[in-house]
Structure 1
């Protein structure tokens, strides 16, 4: 099942007196995307419903780029997981240089699923590309195991509805 964070907020604030996890045995976990997912919501959902919540990460310009499967060994709550095999993902500093694991920088994505331009706006496209990597505008870091974490947007973002 895939949802947006506002659905989890609603579910967590709805009383379920007769909830029985055994009534949905084939649901392994919930995927949540389209907006940042606070780790507290992940933990509260797992506690209330007995279901882990995996972060879904991707952008309109890239489609999905990371897999965060909470049923896998070594899963890290709060992460966005590891990149899909088709993507090369790096963390760049403001000078466009790759940073070491654990250091926060901008998430940059390369791969065949990354868009090839903004319609009639080559200047905007050139501003978000660095050495064939798409600069997402998202800050994050990669740990020593290759797991990525989203921290926040570089610039303010207003999400209207759904998020």
Structure 2
């Protein structure tokens, strides 16, 4: 299983392979990443910390990333989950483009209240690989936000920055 993770404003993607994750965990299974039916088991409106995401990526425990109440300090907020159309895997480039379009476009602007390239807030994305698509049937792009260098209490919805 391979995960495409888009980090902030960077123009590159990092791929985590099941082999790397299994090596890090010492035993692991990747099934825990799919909790509520989407990547990491999170939904729009959920908040979580970086440590919780890392733990989910490298352990067998739980059914997804542990979320926190958004009124408490947190690192990330899920603002949109989009399922890609059924059919054949469209390709890594196409999925990457869809992730960028979905997570940095109109949905970001409508949620945050600022254009992505003008905003102080970063958008991140998790998207399915060909293996996820074909073997697990996962087609979700998970868009989540962070405010670099700060822990957020509350939502970034309407932040306008």
Normalising to structure 2: TM-score of the pair?
0.29
**Which has the higher relative contact order, 1 or 2, with Cα contacts under 8 A spaced 6 or more apart?**
2
Question: Greater helix share, 1 or 2?
Answer: 2
Normalising to structure 1: TM-score of the pair?
0.29
Question: Greater strand share, 1 or 2?
Answer: 1
